[in-house]
Structure 1
Amino acid sequence: MTFTRAPAARDTRQDRVQSHPPLSPRERQIAEAYAGGATYQQIAESLCLAPSTVRTHLAAIYRKLEVSSKLELMARLDGPAPEPRTQPELSSALSELALSLEEALAREKALSEVLRIISDAQGDLDQVVPRILNYALDLCDAEFGILFEYHGDRRFGARFSKGIPEPFKAWMEARGVFAAGPETGLGRMVYQRDVVNIIDVKSEPLYQSDDPLRFATADLGGARSFVAIPMLAADRLVGAFTIYRQTVRPFSQHSLQLARIFADQSVIALENARLVSAARARDG
């Protein structure tokens, strides 16, 4: 009696790739473009799609290929399929993807809002500045805020305010351009070139000192939870949003990230408005 060996189970790259739902030609096109470094907007323009459609396709692509990052997507397109993931791993991957898509959508929304402000205001600083501050307050779910222009050497001038009490507004108008102490929120922001988030301005030792800005902010403005958000043109500080609440209700990191993105983009609106205003002044 002779015995024949059963054929060995195949474990080829092609078999493993086919174990996952195949990508459609359009999905493959989008996946390769995204893995190659193209943005949602660039892909949308090249394929005559809406950015939201590109996001929808990417969500399906990530789900089909069981990846959760651009690096994994690149590896998956160029190599064999990974070992099947467990249900908790899949759930985690989908959660990460959902967060990434949400953050991308928020960035696009902030950019589109800046572009809309630039277009609608037509270079009028008196229109641009209030609308920029209003949108920043909406992002941070706050009612009180000031948009400062930076004059160097920790000196600031209030360009526009919203909702702040009259005594605080009168104090700033009387001061004009003033120097912020190094321990204040604005002063620390100048040094750090980053968001300064203060849970409670009255709980810091500075409140017990004779610093005039902290006194005015806390006692005249009624501020408790406070944040200073820099407006940067490259590494140059051109201004800042200061936003506060009159109760101790700290600002979330998510809202501050959105506000920081919007602040970065808002520099475009302000610089554009200044250029238009200067051109109009020269033309008479």
Structure 2
Amino acid sequence: MYEDRLSPRELEIARAYALGDTYHRIAERLCIAPSTVRTHLAAIYRKLEVSSKLELHKMLDGATPNRKSQSEQAEIISELALSLEEAISRERALSEVLRIISGSEGRINEVIAALLGYALELCDAEFGLLLEYKAQKGFRASHTKGIPRAFHEWWVEKGDYQPNPQTAIGRVEADHDVVNILDVRAEELFQTDDPLRYATATLGGARSFTAIPMLAGKRLIGAFTIYRQQLRPFDEKTVQLARMFADQSVIAIENARMMSELRTTIEQPDRHSTVV
């Protein structure tokens, strides 16, 4: 019986998933991360030797599983192993945000640099920027990682930058939503003289690109912009996880800012004190 092969938590997740619940709904109900749900499902698939939600549903309904050939079984095992490793890696990156939040002590620059590094790890990318946003001023590249020197210097020279509404961060500013571009050179904007798109594609060498907003409630405070120099688009799963990471990162940044302000207040001498 399949019940003997699964823990009570795995049984609960397996039944919910087989009945159509999403990772997020299961996670909310069980108070765990969606990536943890996926980790459990990878283990469930491995233990029950199933390779799809349909097979899982049939087994939970009492059907006898079809016997698979050795090659099919090896293929499933290898895929599950890779999926499990990916899930563990993403779970580690997301949990790292919580560690950064608890240990920031107001070191805002260290927090932002660490968050950008983990965002790149999460998205399997080498090049990225964390752009801070202020209304009426635009975006400023507060931190960069891995980008070519010429592209970094372009952002330093620009300082606060108001983007064209057709650029990725221009769309983020307007819609507060993720922008995922398969190929920055294939868009019509690349054929114009837009300075940001030129800098991104030519100085930065970007091809596949995603911009993920950082929102404090409904207020835009910044964006992760992450890219690959190869034509290798970011899939929907990666972008969804990156957005979850960005939401958690806002908490880390806001917490570090409050700690920094509190520290500054405490360290300032009492202006009203008098020397006796």
Q: Which whole-Å CA distance do the structure 2 matches of 1:39 and 1:226 have between them?
A: 29
Deviation of 1:183 after TM superposition, in Å, equals 0.6
- Equivalences for 1:1-284 in 2 at 5 Å? 20-23=1-4, 29-30=8-9, 34=13, 39=27, 81=62, 84=64, 86=66, 105=88, 108-152=91-135, 155-245=138-228, 247-253=229-235, 254-284=237-267
Q: Which whole-Å CA distance do the structure 2 matches of 1:141 and 1:53 have between them?
A: 19
Q: Which whole-Å CA distance do the structure 2 matches of 1:52 and 1:211 have between them?
A: 41
Deviation of 1:104 after TM superposition, in Å, equals 5.9
Q: What is the letter of the counterpart of residue 125 of structure 1? A: I
Q: What is the letter of the counterpart of residue 260 of structure 1? A: R
Q: Which whole-Å CA distance do the structure 2 matches of 1:275 and 1:28 have between them?
A: 42
Residue 147 of structure 2 aligns to a residue whose secondary structure is coil
Q: What is the letter of the counterpart of residue 30 of structure 1? A: R
Deviation of 1:148 after TM superposition, in Å, equals 0.5
Q: Which residues of structure 2 form unaligned runs of 5+?
A: 17-24, 268-276
Q: Which whole-Å CA distance do the structure 2 matches of 1:208 and 1:149 have between them?
A: 27
Deviates most, 149-158 or 121-130: 149-158
Q: Which whole-Å CA distance do the structure 1 matches of 2:86 and 2:40 have between them?
A: 15
Q: What is the letter of the counterpart of residue 233 of structure 2? A: F
Deviation of 1:33 after TM superposition, in Å, equals 5.7
CA contact (8 A) 1:150 1:156 kept: yes
Deviation of 1:115 after TM superposition, in Å, equals 1.4
RMSD of aligned residue pairs (Cα, Å): 4.2
- In structure 2, relative to structure 1, the CA distance for the partners of 1:167 and 1:39 (3 Å cut) is closer
Residue 202 of structure 1 aligns to a residue whose secondary structure is coil
- In structure 2, relative to structure 1, the CA distance for the partners of 1:55 and 1:120 (3 Å cut) is farther
CA contact (8 A) 1:110 1:261 kept: no
- In structure 2, relative to structure 1, the CA distance for the partners of 1:196 and 1:61 (3 Å cut) is same
Q: Which residues of structure 1 form unaligned runs of 5+?
A: 1-19, 45-49
CA contact (8 A) 1:30 1:57 kept: no
TM-score of the aligned structures, taking structure 2 as reference length: 0.69
Deviation of 1:111 after TM superposition, in Å, equals 2.4
- In structure 2, relative to structure 1, the CA distance for the partners of 1:236 and 1:124 (3 Å cut) is same
Which structure is larger by alpha-carbon Rg, 1 or 2? 1
Q: Which whole-Å CA distance do the structure 2 matches of 1:52 and 1:244 have between them?
A: 25
Cα offsets for 1:163-202 (capped at 9, x unmatched): 2233322222222111111110111223343322223222
- In structure 2, relative to structure 1, the CA distance for the partners of 1:103 and 1:152 (3 Å cut) is farther
TM-score of the aligned structures, taking structure 1 as reference length: 0.67
CA contact (8 A) 1:30 1:43 kept: no
Residue 185 of structure 2 aligns to a residue whose secondary structure is helix
Cα offsets for 1:116-164 (capped at 9, x unmatched): 2224433211111111111112222322211001213682111101222
Q: What is the letter of the counterpart of residue 198 of structure 1? A: I
Q: Which whole-Å CA distance do the structure 2 matches of 1:171 and 1:56 have between them?
A: 44
- In structure 2, relative to structure 1, the CA distance for the partners of 1:153 and 1:105 (3 Å cut) is farther
Residue 160 of structure 1 aligns to a residue whose secondary structure is strand
CA contact (8 A) 2:2 2:48 kept: no
